[in-house]
């Protein structure tokens, strides 16, 4: 991985230190420039968990991807920049159906650039609450010794977004679920088209039949009546060619 070209892809300046403020900026640069999307799945193009292939897709083709692609690529970038990073297995519906990252600094932080509309800052494993553009988040220990829940506050309640373990995983351990997500009729990624990217004040989201612009709590939903229109929106608003 060439860290310099990756940083240029996400519009980030040269990195001079591997600290928490820099990590926060890198996360936000990534979220604002690399979409969470499943276009290849809907076009029948297989996704392989090969680091060079993923990096080429994101950097050279200016595409995005889903969690296994985005978080594994971001982990490799962080390692090149001097961070201590581990791949984590998460569970939204079934085991290993999500990948997240653990970054070790003054304490351990959950990092995730592959979960759509979620937190945008390193989130302490300690359980400290953090306010974000899309709400309040925290991590809570669910089962001793190392099963945690990423939770989001909805009204007065804290509800789980996904569970995860802090056990370090290898990239190849996600290959089976990556194939399942692409091929199984029960996979949400096969059932629904999605291309979404964060903005400083909200989010842009293209689904099967709508283009949704969320900005500082205000939502504008624009109907999409053809695949051609959807492609035009993605090319214009996301600056993507596919």
Confirm if 165 and 147 have CB atoms less than 8 A apart: yes
**Pairing relation of β-strands 218-223 and 210-215?**
antiparallel
As a whole number of angstroms, the distance between CA 226 and CA 35 comes to 21
pLDDT digits (tens, 9 = 90+) for 17-59: 999 999 999 999 999 999 999 999 999 999 999 999 999 999 9
Residue partners of 240: CB distance under 8 A and separation at least 6: 35, 62, 63, 64, 195, 234
pLDDT digits (tens, 9 = 90+) for 78-91: 999 999 999 999 99
What would the CATH number be for the domain defined by 3-237? 3.30.2140.20
Strand order across the beta sheet in which 135-143 lies = 123-124, 108-111, 98-104, 84-91, 157-165, 147-154, 135-143, 130-132
pTM of the model: 0.96
Place of tokens 């996704």: 47
Catalytic residue numbers read: 67, 98, 112
Domain ranges of the chain: 3-237
Q: State the DSSP code for 211.
A: E
């Amino acid at each position: 991985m060439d860290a310099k070209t990756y940083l240029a892809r996400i519009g980030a300046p040269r990195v001079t230190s591997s600290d928490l403020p820099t990590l926060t900026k890198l996360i936000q640069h990534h979220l604002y420039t690399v979409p969470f999307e499943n276009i290849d799945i809907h076009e029948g193009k297989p996704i392989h968990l090969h680091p060079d292939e993923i990096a080429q897709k994101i950097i050279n083709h200016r595409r995005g991807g889903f969690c296994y692609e985005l978080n594994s690529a971001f982990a490799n970038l962080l390692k090149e920049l001097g961070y201590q990073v581990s791949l984590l297995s998460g569970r939204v519906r079934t085991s290993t159906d999500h990948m997240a990252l653990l970054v070790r600094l003054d304490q351990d932080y959950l990092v995730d650039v592959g979960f759509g509309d979620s937190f945008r800052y390193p989130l302490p494993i300690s359980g400290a609450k953090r306010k974000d553009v899309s709400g309040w988040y925290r991590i809570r220990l669910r089962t001793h010794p190392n099963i945690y829940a990423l939770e989001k506050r909805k009204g007065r309640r804290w509800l789980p977004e996904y569970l995860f373990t802090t056990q370090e995983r290898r990239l190849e351990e996600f290959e089976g679920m990556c194939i399942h997500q692409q091929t199984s009729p029960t996979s949400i990624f096969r059932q629904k088209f999605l291309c979404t990217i964060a903005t400083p004040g909200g989010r842009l989201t293209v689904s099967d039949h709508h283009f949704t612009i969320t900005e500082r709590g205000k939502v504008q939903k624009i109907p999409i009546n053809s695949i051609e229109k959807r492609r035009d929106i993605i090319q214009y608003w996301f600056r993507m060619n596919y």
